[in-house]
Amino acid sequence: MAAAAARLLLRSVSSKDPVTNIHASLHNSFGVTLLKLFPSCTFKPKTQKRHAAHFTFHPDPVPTKYGSTMKMNLFQSVTSALDNTLSSDPTAVIFGEDVAFGGVFRCTVGLRDKYGKDRVFNTPLCEQGIVGFGIGAAVGGATAIAEIQFADYIFPAFDQIVNEAAKYRYRSGNLYDCGNLTIRAPWGCVGHGSLYHSQSPEAFFAHCPGIKVVVPRGPIQAKGLLLSCIADRNPCIFFEPKILYRAAVEQVPTEPYLIPLSQAEVLQEGSDLTVVAWGTQVHVMREVAAMAQEKLGVSCEVIDLQTILPWDIETVCKSVVKTGRLLISHEAPVTGGFAAEISSTVQEECFLNLEAPITRVCGYDTPFPHIFEPFYIPDKWKCFDAVKRMINY
């Protein structure tokens, strides 16, 4: 099920880049020809054109301390991290559905040719098997990098992640562990992914002691955080915002480097209001901060949480003590979302500093819809409105 759906989505994602995917471009031009041949099927740009992206990617400054850099998008920076790992760690293996030919999102392109089919290989189509196999490989002494094709399809492996991976070290008194396991999965909305190619399941995992959950906001973070997940001695889930795979491009160091886990990053200092987000939503919030400054004269401090579990309480609370207001935003549904955890912790720690109720701008408590996506997501206008209300509180 996952594979077929993935191919469908892959075509639409990759259609922006005709050079790297011949199939997609063939299919596209063929489709266009068909449409032109059929007289009643004319283009109506206003209604037919897909809704514009809900965010603008903000590249980070070029990193200077890790040596030479290369222009990479997010999927290429993931490949670069995997390449670095396979070359330095002979036990490292990469597996999942369709990873051998390069992956449905191109994240493993070229790795099988470079490192061999015993190190980069397809598994049967079975998520509980992939994670169980990965745990076992880690227990057996390998560095196991498992791919779940979409975060939406990680739920069949929920038992292996929650009851097994997360508890391996604890329950054995540290006799055994699967700390060398990393699970990567494409994550978040993509414009047209509907119910099962859009989910952000991080909060389901945030309730599970023993695992780490990480989401990067761009190529530089993706590589550094993924390498940290792989090096970390605990099982990690690494969610890759798939809408950024091609859209986000920046200068990424070619050599390996680590960005520490459980550390939030303050991207922009501010004095009136703290905004916290992760993944794609960080870029939405950066835009909101600019709008707040321009239209309201409000100075926002923008924080990328980066690690969901265990999260960086200190950085967030320090910021709220300074600003007195906190806005948290995520794509996932609001009830039971991770913003609730952040909100109640900050309320406990910063009660005397808070000048307005902590506000959450999140997805609604519905499944992720297809045609209604523009109305569903917590876009910059919903967030901007929340800032306005908080400032006037």
Partner 1 sequence: MILKMAAVRRMMKLYGLGFHAIRQQTSLRASRVPQQRAFHVNGAQRQQPFDSSVEKPQFPGASAEFVDQLEFIKPNVISGIPIYRVMDRQGQIIRPTEDPQLSKDTVLNFYQKMTLLNTMDRILYESQRQGRISFYMTNYGEEGTHIGSAAALNPNDLVFGQYREAGVLMFRGFPLDLFMAQCYANADDLGKGRQMPVHYGSRDLNFVTISSPLATQLPQAAGAAYALKRENSNRAVICYFGEGAASEGDAHAGFNFAATLECPLIFFCRNNGYAISTPTNEQYRGDGIAARGPGYGMMSIRVDGNDVFAVYNATKEARRRAVAENQPFLIEAMTYRIGHHSTSDDSSAYRSVDEVNYWDKQDHPISRLRHYMTAHGWWGEDEERAWRKQSRKLVMEAFERAERRLKPHPDLMFTDVYEEMNPGLQKQKESMWRHIQQYKEHYPLDLYDK
Starting at the earlier edge strand, list the strands of the sheet with 93-96: 120-122, 93-96, 144-147, 181-187, 236-241, 212-214, 307-309
CB of 317 to partner 1, least distance (A): 12
Nearest CA among 206, 188, 243 for reference residue 362: 188
Residue among 157 and 243 whose Cβ is closer to partner 1? 157
Exactly one of 83, 147, 177, 272 binds partner 1 (CB under 8 A); that residue is 177
Tell whether residue 159 is a contact of partner 1 (CB under 8 A): yes
Site for partner 1 in 358-387 (CB under 8 A): none
CB of 314 to partner 1, least distance (A): 7
Pairing of strands 236-241, 273-277: unpaired
Nearest CA among 193, 220, 335 for reference residue 282: 220
CB of 116 to partner 1, least distance (A): 8
Q: Using CB under 8 A, which of the segments 65-73, 135-143, 273-281, 325-333 binds partner 1? A: 135-143
Residue among 17 and 159 whose Cβ is closer to partner 1? 159
Exactly one of 132, 188, 337, 378 binds partner 1 (CB under 8 A); that residue is 132
301 a catalytic residue: no
192 a catalytic residue: no
- Compute the radius of gyration of the chain from its Cα atoms: 21
Q: Using CB under 8 A, which of the segments 29-37, 77-85, 330-338, 374-382 binds partner 1? A: 29-37
The residue type at 121? F
**H/E segment holding residue 327:** strand 326-333
Tell whether residue 324 is a contact of partner 1 (CB under 8 A): no
CB of 359 to partner 1, least distance (A): 24
Tell whether residue 32 is a contact of partner 1 (CB under 8 A): no
Tell whether residue 173 is a contact of partner 1 (CB under 8 A): yes
Q: How many CA atoms lie within 13 A of 209 on its CB side?
A: 3
Please say whether the beta carbons of 263 and 275 come within 8 A.
no
Site for partner 1 in 249-268 (CB under 8 A): 262
**H/E segment holding residue 194:** none
Q: Is 93 strand, coil or helix?
A: strand
Region for residue 263 given its phi and psi (left: phi exceeds 0; alpha: psi -120 to 50; beta: otherwise): beta
Beta strands (DSSP E) in 160-214 are: 181-187, 212-214
Catalog residues that contact partner 1 under the rule CB under 8 A.
7, 23, 26-27, 30-31, 34, 38, 91, 93, 101, 117-118, 121, 123-124, 126, 128-129, 131-142, 144, 156, 159-160, 163-164, 167-177, 179, 209-210, 212, 233-234, 262, 310, 313-314
Active site residues: 127, 197
